[in-house]
Structures are given as C-alpha cells and as structure tokens.
Amino acid sequence: MRLLLPIALLLAGCGSSAPPLSQPELIVRMAAAERGEDLSRALVCGADQARVNDFALKDPPPRVASHELALLYRATIVTRVREDEALRGASLNPDTDECRAIRARRDLAVLFKPRPTVREEALSRER
C-alpha cells in the first residue's frame, strides 16, 4: 500500500472533472479499501458475521482522519461487509493457506469463533 500512495496521489491530480483528493482523504480511502478486503477474506474464511459487523463499526480510522473522514472510513468498510454477507461460508475449502494466514492475524483473530474439536463435531451430528 505504501508504494501505491505516491502513484495514487499523482493520479488524483490528473483528473479534470473533479477536484483532486486531499492526501488525508486518499490515505483514508486506501486504508478503508485495504481493511474492507481483509474483512471480505475473513468472511469467506468462515469468520462470524456479527463479529465482523461489530469490528467494522469500531475499527479505528487512520490517524490523519478528521471526524468527517473517520465517518467515511467506517461507512466504506461497513458497506463492503454488508455487501459481502452473501460470501459467508461460500468457500469450499476454508483451510487454504490464505485462510490460515487470515485467522492467524492478531488484528483479525477476534472475528473467528473457536473451531469445534473433532469430538464436538461428532457429538453435534449425533443430536
């Protein structure tokens, strides 16, 4: 992401139809896109939907964000999460390397419920 920032800043000034984005707004928009991607992947990897929604509502924006940009940050990631609700559990194999990496991240670990043991799964099937 850090490499993309200078390129994005340069491109933001090239459009003639809209005023260029300020550097703080661009940082907030890029951070929201990155966090939205993280949360989408977490959903596909089996994260708890309620925990993901709660996380999106409380995730702190980048430090450069004003109050208005903080609202934009949260609105962007909450919208993305709600649009991706249909993807929850869509992965046929949530034990891929990518899913294991997502579940291992400290900042996203709270999104996942503890996985049942083999014995717990067998007991639940018997009921």
Domain ranges of the chain: 4-126
Mean pLDDT score across all residues of the chain:
80
pLDDT at 90 over 60: no
Residue 27: the pLDDT is 93
Kindly report each contact of residues 60-69 with a partner whose C-beta sits within 8 Å and lies 24 or more positions away, as own/partner: 61/28, 61/31, 61/32, 62/24, 62/27, 62/28, 62/31, 64/23, 64/24, 64/27, 64/28, 65/24, 65/27, 65/28, 66/24, 69/24, 69/25, 69/28
Residue 86: the pLDDT is 60
- Please report which confidence band the pLDDT of residue 73 belongs to, taking 50, 70 and 90 as the band edges: very high
